[in-house]
Amino acid sequence: MATPLGVSASRAAGSKQHGAAAPGLAGRARDAAVFASGVAAAAAVLALLGSASVLELAPRISSPRVAVPAPGPDDGPRTFYDDPELSYAAVGGRRLAGWDAKRAAWLRSRGLAARASPERVVMVSGSQPEPCPGEAGDHFLLRFLKNKLDYCRLHGIELLYNRDALQPAMTGYWAKIPIVRAAMLAHPEAEWVWWVDSDAVFTDMDFSLPLAARYGGRNFVAYGWPDKIARRSWLGINNGVFLLRNCQWSLDLLDEWARMGPAHPEHARWCKVFRAALADKGDDAWCDDQSALVYLLYTNWERLGKKAFIETEYFFQAYWVDVVDRLDGIAARYEAVERRAPPGLRRRHAEREHLRYAAPRNAAVSGAVPGPAGGGVEGWRRPLITHFMGCQPCSGGRNPMYSRESCDDGMRRALGFADDQVLRAYGFRHAAPLNDTVRPLPFDYPGAAPARNG
């Protein structure tokens, strides 16, 4: 294609010579010969191309091919992944033994410390594979997912969101057991697996789990209510949010828990046992995974209690009815503290520096706002998680004791409360509670407190 480019260049050169004399006959003959040779060359090129598309005249740019050897069974030390009988199934597969040693060997083979600091966490959540039948259910699940993504991004946590029934026989709420167990095997680098129900909202984006300080030596953490535990209620411990250390003890707990579920032939017998042994469980009540776990812990506390931790000091998860009407008051108290705090606490910063500013903000709040960090029954601290148990945003089959308006408004209020903490790094916040529009934040938001006279 050098010739056509030469023609274009010749024309461009001629256009710069408006004041030059017209070429003579010899020059015209020479130009005609050059033009004719160019046409002939172009015709030859087109003949070679045949029916090829003119789009293919441009040179193709391809990425360089680099030979990379694919890893295989003979590449590096063998690990538990090379065992053909390894089963990810929570029910029906071969029981996994020696997990602590196998996991430690895998970590060593990859140059990873067994318990790095901070301890690695994988959060697991999920929803059903089908569209939500409830009105606005998919919209709410999207917002709940966004909330978890925000929290995980700010805290350096990986999120595994599942919508597949790994074992179809483990129906309904029981479906969490197979995915939690599979996550432990798929993520040996994680020290903890953190299950969070789809309808749970993170409402304190500053709070980090006190893993080493509070849960060192423990393998299972869930939230509970002492008064209900005392009377052996199936509502005494909620398993909508729980932590499991990635270890053999936890795998054994999951296996024992799963054998009470609908995929096991003894399920019907266990259902009768739960109803007879647990308070607040009527004869017509469903046979759920929470009842199984609560029964397992209540009746085996001497065996399991040394490694289990029932959190009651802060809102590892809060019952939404106790929280949503107080969120506006909580926000106002936090803003008042920041107005009195040094200007550096209000300094604009990159989102990746969130935790650097969260620590002094929590320190300032702890001396001025009553209540434990992470929220609690008493005081006005932000709850770590607000759980909308009973609202059933996906199915729409909420508990009849709640109105649709109370659930929907409560979820929107909690999600907006959390979003405002995230939007701040982008220079915005919502115009008002229950308002989806946003407004830009002024510099030095929320501003210094006015000086007192006298």
Query: Is 344 part of any domain?
Result: yes
Cβ atoms within 10 Å, residue 168: 11
Query: Is 134 part of any domain?
Result: no
Are both 184 and 233 inside the same structural domain?
yes
Cβ atoms within 10 Å, residue 162: 18
Q: Which among 274, 292, 313 is the end of a domain?
A: 313
Are both 248 and 341 inside the same structural domain?
no
| Rounded CA separation 176/212 (Å) | 25
Residue 147 in contact with residue 421, Cβ under 8 Å?
Answer: no
pTM (2 d.p.) = 0.83
Residue 185 in contact with residue 88, Cβ under 8 Å?
Answer: yes
Query: Is 33 part of any domain?
Result: no
Are both 338 and 283 inside the same structural domain?
no
Query: Is 150 part of any domain?
Result: yes
Are both 153 and 300 inside the same structural domain?
yes
- Across the 454 residues of the chain, what is the mean pLDDT of every consecutive 10-residue run? 36 36 42 44 41 42 59 72 88 87 93 83 95 94 98 98 92 93 96 98 97 96 96 96 98 96 93 93 80 96 96 97 96 95 90 94 94 95 97 92 95 98 96 94 88 60
- pLDDT (0 to 100) of residue 93: 75
Are both 263 and 399 inside the same structural domain?
no
Fill in the DSSP letter of residue 279: B
Query: Is 441 part of any domain?
Result: no
Are both 279 and 366 inside the same structural domain?
no
Query: Is 20 part of any domain?
Result: no
Number of domains in the chain: 2
- Length of the chain equals 454
Query: Is 454 part of any domain?
Result: no
Fill in the DSSP letter of residue 343: G
Query: Is 240 part of any domain?
Result: yes
Are both 274 and 185 inside the same structural domain?
yes
Q: Which among 282, 313, 344 is the end of a domain?
A: 313
> 385 is in which domain, residue-wise?
320-430
Are both 278 and 331 inside the same structural domain?
no
The CATH number of whichever domain residue 183 belongs to comes to: 3.90.550
- pLDDT (0 to 100) of residue 415: 98
Are both 120 and 179 inside the same structural domain?
yes
Are both 305 and 214 inside the same structural domain?
yes
Are both 151 and 290 inside the same structural domain?
yes
Fill in the DSSP letter of residue 319: E
